[in-house]
């Protein structure tokens, strides 16, 4: 029995979009427009963190959620590096916390950043290369994700897998179709960033001209516009 006099009883809140790697970055990059912020905030830019930091980072975020009534998060996580020890450390911290988590390892295989089309053409090649970054291997990432789903079965209580192409424009057709197959094979939800900013809407018009400039029609074409999809942002 809990004495709830003068209190309200609510169901637990769900944070449908969460990046636990940002937990220790609060206040670090304030007041930046999104497209500029994205050039600074990627976890890969901070380099690999110690297992201790990964554990604490995950726990601090989980405690913050639980203290404020959030009982479930969908954590779209960029593993740095994308390997089993990094994943195991984070999942063990979640299991310890008791928070419900839909966990996905974010994948992307297109190097261009969202604002790259708006870089001045006269920007030196060295600058353009820095902004573009290097593309990642499609098969390696899909194989890693599927191998983890099979290796860590069953997951600890309260944890569930999700699948995350970081964004349609950051993913090749092969990567998106590979994720669609995994979603179907393992009946898993898909979380992806769609239209985070107006700049991305403008980019979609050129990238998906054959689909009427629509990122959503493109998602439909690659088999991802289904009832397991979470469209994140949707500006
Ligand atoms: Zn996000």
Q: What is the CATH number of the domain that holds 35?
A: 3.20.20.140
For ligand 1, the distance from its centroid to the CA atom of residue 193, given in whole angstroms, is 6
Q: How far apart are CA 62 and CA 98, in angstroms?
A: 8
Q: In whole angstroms, what separates CA 3 from the centre of its chain?
A: 39
Which domain covers residue 118, as residue numbers?
Answer: 13-233
pLDDT(114) > 60: no
Percent of the chain with pLDDT over 70: 96
Residue 3 lies in a domain: no
Q: Which two tokens stand for residue 206?
A: 């050129």
Residue 7 lies in a domain: no
Q: How far apart are CA 36 and CA 207, in angstroms?
A: 21
Q: What's the number of CA atoms in the CB half-sphere (13 Å) around residue 13?
A: 11
Q: How far apart are CA 140 and CA 61, in angstroms?
A: 29
For ligand 1, the distance from its centroid to the CA atom of residue 196, given in whole angstroms, is 8
Residue 8 lies in a domain: no
40-78 pLDDT tens trace: 888 888 889 999 999 999 999 999 999 999 999 999 999
Residue 184 lies in a domain: yes
Beta bridge partners of 233: 194
Name the domain count of the chain: 1
For ligand 1, the distance from its centroid to the CA atom of residue 224, given in whole angstroms, is 18
For ligand 1, the distance from its centroid to the CA atom of residue 122, given in whole angstroms, is 31
pTM of the model as a whole? 0.91
For ligand 1, the distance from its centroid to the CA atom of residue 150, given in whole angstroms, is 26
Q: How far apart are CA 204 and CA 146, in angstroms?
A: 29
For ligand 1, the distance from its centroid to the CA atom of residue 32, given in whole angstroms, is 15
Residue 17 lies in a domain: yes
Classify 100 in phi/psi space as left (phi over 0), alpha (psi -120 to 50) or beta: beta
For ligand 1, the distance from its centroid to the CA atom of residue 17, given in whole angstroms, is 6
- Name the residue with higher pLDDT: 120 or 28: 28
For ligand 1, the distance from its centroid to the CA atom of residue 111, given in whole angstroms, is 17
Residue 35 lies in a domain: yes
Closest CA to 61 of 75, 80, 49, 45: 75
Residue 6 lies in a domain: no
């Amino acid at each position: 029995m809990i004495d709830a006099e003068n209190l309200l009883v609510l169901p637990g809140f769900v944070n449908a979009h969460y990046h636990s790697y940002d937990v220790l970055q609060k206040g670090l990059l304030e007041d930046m427009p999104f497209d500029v912020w994205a050039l600074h905030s990627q976890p890969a830019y901070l380099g690999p963190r110690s297992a201790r930091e990964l554990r604490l980072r995950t726990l601090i975020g989980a405690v913050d959620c639980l203290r404020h009534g959030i009982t479930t998060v969908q954590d779209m996580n960029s593993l740095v590096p994308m390997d089993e020890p990094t994943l195991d450390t984070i999942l063990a911290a979640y299991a310890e916390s008791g928070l419900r988590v839909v966990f996905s390892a974010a994948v992307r295989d297109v190097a261009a950043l969202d604002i790259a089309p708006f870089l001045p053409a006269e920007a030196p090649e060295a600058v353009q290369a820095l902004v573009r970054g290097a593309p990642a291997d499609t098969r390696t990432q899909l194989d890693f994700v599927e191998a983890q789903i099979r290796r860590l079965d069953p997951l600890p209580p309260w944890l569930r897998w999700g699948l995350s192409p970081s964004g349609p424009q950051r993913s090749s057709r092969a990567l998106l179709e590979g994720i669609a197959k995994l979603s179907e094979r393992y009946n898993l939800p898909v979380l992806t960033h769609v239209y985070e900013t107006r700049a991305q809407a403008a980019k979609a018009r050129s990238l998906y001209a054959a689909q009427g400039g629509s990122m959503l029609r493109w998602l439909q074409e690659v088999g991802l516009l289904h009832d397991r999809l979470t469209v994140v942002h949707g500006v």
